[in-house]
A and B are shown apart, each in its own frame.
Chain A
Amino acid sequence: MKIKVTSVYVDDQDKALRFYTEVLGFAKKADFSQGPFRWLTVASPEEPDGTELQLALNNNPAAKAYQQAMFQQRQPAAMFFTDDVKGDYERIKARGAEFTMPPTDVTGSTIAMLKDTCGNLIQLTQLARYSR
């Protein structure tokens, strides 16, 4: 068994695809539809066969309520790991993304938080490396 797909709810799948590819830099992985259902995922170009993130449409009341509550409590809907959080922060900010937290040192890591324009907060995490 493997952890292969995780999901975030988005309010518009086309808008989400643009943000997650053009602004964050991920690559579209799967995109097919069945009737009004659309299965859409992205993956990291650094790990094309790695874990996929499903961009799921929040078109039901439970999904919308969950998404809004998480956002209001400033809980990230997804967390991405990077080896260069400051570099990613500058790069993504230059593409127009709105950060709610610049790179900030916390226990064990440096984190930054941004809006994904589709109703979510996204956290970028760089683990601290302690020399022994």
Chain B
Amino acid sequence: MTDREQYTPGPASGAQVRKDGEKWTLILVRELRHSPEKVWQALTDPAHLREWAPFDADGCLGTVGATVKLTTVGAPTPHVTETTVTRADAPNVLEYKWGGFDMRWELEAFGGSTRLTLWTNIGRRFIAMGAAGWHICFDVLDHLLSGTPIGRMVGPEAIKFGGWQRLNAEYAKQFGVET
């Protein structure tokens, strides 16, 4: 069996929701046993993003003012949005928009590892799905950085996968929303 077949996500954890009226923000925290520089590269370099992220980028996201087209992977009709990087303080803070979502990434070094935090606004109806999707993406990212890639799991690949269904239900319960 390959690592991909053996992969099972752990329980829902490291996520919280900030509710400000109708505007909900998903906050995800993940500790990665890799340096912030290495994680930064995985967050900004198109070749790395292609290995784990739910979108493809046609340029590097690591420079303020860069205009990059982001293609949502696996959307039922082609979905491309253009973004401009609004903040890129390597290797600590990265900000841009993915469609209507604000994306803020923060990387904090601690003892040779990185505490990665993502803030993203997402409608309450889809917030548990988003948390489940990012959970799996972060697992795939961790494998990639460790040199044991299991291949990107996004869109239909993630949804048909039993672990996603369980995570979706667990996060929905944690957040107090319906699946």
Co-complex (A, B): yes
Identify the A interface with B (CB < 8 A).
31-39, 56, 59-60
**Which of A34, A56, A59 has the most chain B CB atoms inside 10 A of its CB?**
A34
- Judged by DSSP, the binding face of A is strand
Question: Which residue of chain B has its CB nearest to the CB of A56?
Answer: B77
Residues of B within 8 A of A34 (CB): 54, 72, 74-76, 79, 155
Residues of B within 8 A of A56 (CB): 77
- Measured CB to CB, the closest approach of chain B to A35, in angstroms, equals 5
Other A-B pairs beyond A34-B54, A35-B79, 4, CB < 8 Å: A35-B72, A38-B126, A39-B77, A59-B81
How many contacts between A and B, using CB within 8 angstroms?
46
Residues of A within 8 A of B27 (CB): none
- Measured CB to CB, the closest approach of chain B to A56, in angstroms, equals 8
- In the complex, A39→B75 CA distance in Å? 9
Q: Are A59 and B99 in contact (CB under 8 A)?
A: yes
- In the complex, A97→B132 CA distance in Å? 39
Question: Which residue of chain A has its CB nearest to the CB of B82?
Answer: A60
Residues of A within 8 A of B130 (CB): 33
Residues of A within 8 A of B77 (CB): 39, 56
Residues of B within 8 A of A38 (CB): 126
Q: Are A35 and B55 in contact (CB under 8 A)?
A: yes
Among B134-172, those with CB < 8 Å from A are 155
